[in-house]
Amino acid sequence: MTEVLYRSDSYLRETTARVVSASEAGVVVDRSNFYARAGGQPGDTGTIRWDGGEVPVLEAVKGEGEDILLRTPEGAVLPAPGTEVTLTLEWQRRHRHMRMHSAMHLLCSLIPGAGVTGGQVGADKSRLDFDLAEPPSKESLTEALNALIAADHPISESWITEAELDANPGLVRTLSVQPPRGSGQIRLVRIGSGETPVDLQPCGGTHVRSTAEIGRVEVTKMENKGRQNRRISLVLVEG
């Protein structure tokens, strides 16, 4: 089982690890700062380096069981099992995913009561689909999102038991994807502090430490994807 380092430190850009296995499918290591694709967030990319070689990571994905598989180019020279390696994230891409994912949680907070039917985190554009008849306007959502971002709310995590989640089903906003079960623990991402946070929901993805770190965003498009399925797209506004 790969030790998942990004859950305790999503800012860990580089770490050492030891190779468990290497094949045409990719490399499995004993510990990883690479996020494995899940829940609409892409897997991380970056580099594996070792004494005498290096290979790019095309994407981190889920392997067998609890392993994280680092996909590598076909025919690449790979480190042998037991080799100590250095794992380096393509940080700019990961950080944009973190900013985007946190912004998407804020978007959820602005549309209370509507289930999320789908979503995709992207470095350049992200989207959320809501079970919603009539969404607010692009302009009002953009204004409200940037007000929450500017308020510099802290973003933190905590853990509850599966039984506690069952007793509070309203915490789950996603209709298409349910929180992973089996370990007995569910990770919650909280935006804001106090008894009434801005947003609180189960999530296994990576996030920034505060809303101010997201930077300015813009809701760019609203699409009708069904009788009550509305797709809302947003981008990061740089500069």
207: CB partners within 8 A, 6+ apart: 10, 98, 101, 102, 105, 155, 157, 189
- Lowest pLDDT segment from 59-63, 197-201, 222-226: 222-226
Can you give the pTM of this predicted structure? 0.93
Q: Provide the 8-state DSSP code for 136.
A: P
Residue that wins the pLDDT comparison between 138 and 195: 138
b/e burial code for range 3-38 (CB count within 10 A of at least 16 → b): ebbbeeebeeeebebebbbbeeebbbbeebbbbbbe
- What's the pLDDT score for residue 181? 58
List domains and CATH numbers for the chain. 3-89 (2.40.30.130), 94-236 (3.30.980.10)
pLDDT tens digits, 168-221: 877 887 766 666 655 678 889 999 998 899 999 999 999 999 999 999 999 999
d(CA 171, CA 190): 11
- Which stretches within 111-137 are classed as H helix? none
Mean pLDDT of the region 128-136: 91
Would strands 14-23 and 26-29 be described as parallel, antiparallel, or unpaired?
Answer: antiparallel
* Residue 71 bridge partners (DSSP): 59
Share the mean pLDDT of the chain: 93
pLDDT exceeds cutoff 70 at 79: yes
pLDDT exceeds cutoff 90 at 135: no
Instruction: With CA atoms as reference, report the closest residue to 220 among 203, 236, 235.
Output: 235
pLDDT tens digits, 4-35: 999 889 999 999 999 999 999 999 999 999 99
pLDDT exceeds cutoff 80 at 42: yes
Residue that wins the pLDDT comparison between 157 and 183: 157
